[in-house]
Amino acid sequence: MQKRQWKDAALVAGMTLLLFALLLAGPVGRLNHLAGPGDAAAVSAFMAAVFGAALGVYVHVDRPGGRTMMLCAAVLGLSVLARASMLDFASADYDSFLCKWVQYFRETGVRALAENVGDYNLLYQYALLVISRLPVYDLYSIKLLSVAFDYALALAMMAAAGSAAGRRARLPVFLIVPLLPTVLLDGACWGQCDTVYAFAVILSLYCLMEGRPWRSAAALAFAFAFKLQTIFVFPVVLMGLLDGRFKPKHAMAFFAAYLLTMIPALLAGRGFMDALSVYAGQSMGQYYHRLTYNAPNLYVFFPMLEFASSQEYTWMRFIRGIEWDGTNGYLTEDLFPTLQQAALIAAALLTLAVVCYWLRHREEVRPEMTLNLALFFALFLPFVLPKMHDRYFFVADMLSLLYAAQRPERRFMPLLVVGASLGSYMTFLTRQRPVDERVLALMMLCALALAARDLLQAMRENRRLAAEGGAA
């Protein structure tokens, strides 16, 4: 056994060195913002190390044969090369926000943590502070953080697939995740960090399914400390409390882990309540202009003053008489905060009704329905809430893949969810609308309806079994 381990380690190391050489001679060597050969070597070494770590963990866990290992190496290697080829792309988010935030940290140093730099929570601000001290070009450093978590997410998804769908599902999910278009574009192209919190969410669900509530609570706290969108899976925590897998004492792990993330900012001079209330400013004090920001949800069917990432539909330019750049004369900017508030209240009432129905029938919700319930709420909440952005279905993308692995009759679910997400990404990244947003919203609605139908069917079946058991 030890001899095989050394052989596997040697193979992984050899393939990592080969990828390093390919990166250096290929896409990384041709990047436009490298200060010299040292930068190229550093970027190539980092990406090759991420590849080697991911492949090494898989080999250690699954002990694959030689052909399987070569297949994994080829797929992962190609996905790394694809990411390297995107590193030069600078999105509007980077030009308008990220580069300025990093520059502010570079000029101000640790003292900047006493302020709210940007609209992310503290963990990402710490990451930007570290990035501001690195010698590599800021755009590359920001993207490499996300690239590392692309493969951490793939490993977490592999573990969750094994728990939810059996060992045979592990390898396909592990190889599919780095190639999913939304994962590929989110970090390496767009420079966003959704894979970071999604990794922690999936890890939390995996630990919950495996009966490790302390780790689950700590992972969820990390996810929540990184991004507010973690709340989309909070109803699953409520289910864990009701069925006994979570206990009130496990909430202490959540709050302790969350408070630990605040310590550097508090030491830098930030007020406790200010550090604690970052999300209040995000949710209430921003984005007053539209009901949806490219999210394929309910509000694309509502009248809009103008589109987010405004640009005409590609096919509209060929139709005479269509004024794509005109505005709605009956809507004004002053009206939209009122519309958002009304939509938020309506969505809150609808969510409360759904949760109350579920609580009323909580005896019919069993622990084996964790994935189904998580997928439902990851689709439902961003679908009915206003002011959602294009990337807010990212966790739903991941859960739809796990759901397809668990239920063969739902293998098409990722095509609906990931396909709708991808269409909304294209709107921002290309400023074109090749597909009507209402089509994307209908795709997401179909996925939501199917997840709800499966959940209700499982609850009815559990109710029938309970009735039969009572009669017996």
Please write the tens of the pLDDT for every residue from 116-139.
887 778 899 999 999 999 999 999
The CA distance from 335 to 332, in Å, is 5
Question: What is the arithmetic mean of pLDDT over 146-153?
Answer: 97
Same domain as 68, residue 106: no
Residue 391, both tokens: 């990337």
- pLDDT more than 90, % of the chain: 63
Q: With 80 as the cut, is the pLDDT of residue 72 above it?
A: yes
| Cβ atoms of 164 and 371 closer than 8 Å | yes
pLDDT value of residue 366? 86
Instruction: Give me the pLDDT at residue 329, please.
Output: 60
Cα angle at 338 between 336 and 343, to 5 degrees? Answer: 95
pLDDT given for residue 316 in this prediction: 54
**Confidence band for 3, pLDDT divided at 50, 70 and 90:** confident
Residue 51 has pLDDT above 70, yes or no: yes
Residue 286 has pLDDT above 80, yes or no: no
Residue 166 burial by Cβ neighbours in a 10 Å radius (0-12, 13-18, 19+):
exposed
Q: Tell me, what's the pLDDT at 315?
A: 54
CB contact at 8 A, 162 and 169:
yes
pLDDT classification of 159: cutoffs 50, 70, 90: very high
C-alpha distances (whole Å) from 197 to each of 132, 157, 230, 279, 435 are: 21, 13, 7, 15, 29
Residue 184 lies in a domain: yes
Q: Which pLDDT belongs to residue 121?
A: 85
CA dist 285 to 122, 277, 279, 387, 472, Å? 18, 12, 10, 11, 57
Residues 45 and 191 in one domain: no
Query: Does some domain include residue 344?
Result: yes
Q: Establish if 61 belongs to a structural domain.
A: yes
Do 68 and 133 fall into the same domain?
A: no
Q: Are residues 20 and 127 part of one domain?
A: no
Q: Among 85, 119, 147, identify where a domain stops.
A: 85
Interacting residues of 98 by C-beta distance below 8 A, sequence separation 6+ = 118, 128, 138, 142, 191
Do 61 and 125 sit in the same domain of this protein? no
What is the tally of structural domains in the chain? 3
Tell me if 205 is assigned to some domain.
yes
φ, ψ for residue 293, nearest 5 deg: -110, 70
Angle between helices 194-209 and 370-384 (to 10 degrees): 150
Which amino acid is present at 1? M
Mean pLDDT of 150-161: 97
Report the run of H or E that residue 275 belongs to, with start and end: helix 272-276
Residues near 70 by beta carbon (within 8 Å), at least 6 away in sequence? none
In whole angstroms, what is the distance from residue 347 CA to residue 382 CA? 10
Average pLDDT, integer, range 66-95:
95
> Does 275 map to a domain?
no
Judgement on whether residues 335 and 435 belong to the same structural domain of the protein: yes
Q: Please say if the pLDDT value at position 319 is more than 60.
A: no
What does the DSSP assignment read for 342-389? HHHHHHHHHHHHHHHHHHHTGGG--GGGHHHHHHHHHHHHHHHSSSEE
User: Same structural domain for residues 159 and 293?
Assistant: no
Identify whether residues 141 and 75 lie together within a single domain.
Answer: no
Q: What's the pLDDT score for residue 470?
A: 57
Specify whether 80 is located in the same domain as 101.
Answer: no
Q: Which two tokens stand for residue 68?
A: 């399987």
Note whether 251 and 397 are same-domain residues. Answer: no
pLDDT of 77 over the 60 cut: yes
Tell me the C-alpha distance between 173 and 415, whole Å.
Answer: 14
Q: Considering the domain boundaries, does residue 223 fall inside one? A: yes
Q: Is residue 238 part of a domain?
A: no
pLDDT at 445: 97
Residues in the chain, total: 472
Asked if the model's pLDDT at residue 472 lies above 60, the reply is no
Looking at the fold, whether 80 and 97 belong to one and the same domain comes out as: no
Band of pLDDT at residue 280, cut at 50, 70 and 90: low
Residues 212, 174: one domain? yes
Q: Does residue 144 register a pLDDT over 80?
A: yes
450: containing domain = 287-321+329-466
Q: Determine the Cα–Cα distance for residues 128 and 122; give it in Å rounded to an integer.
A: 10
Q: Which of 40, 64, 85 is the last residue of a domain?
A: 85
Model pTM score: 0.93
- Residue 292 is given by DSSP the state E
Of residues 463 and 188, the one with the higher pLDDT is 188
Boundary-marking domain end, from 85, 106, 133: 85
Look at residue 276 and tell me if it is in a domain: no
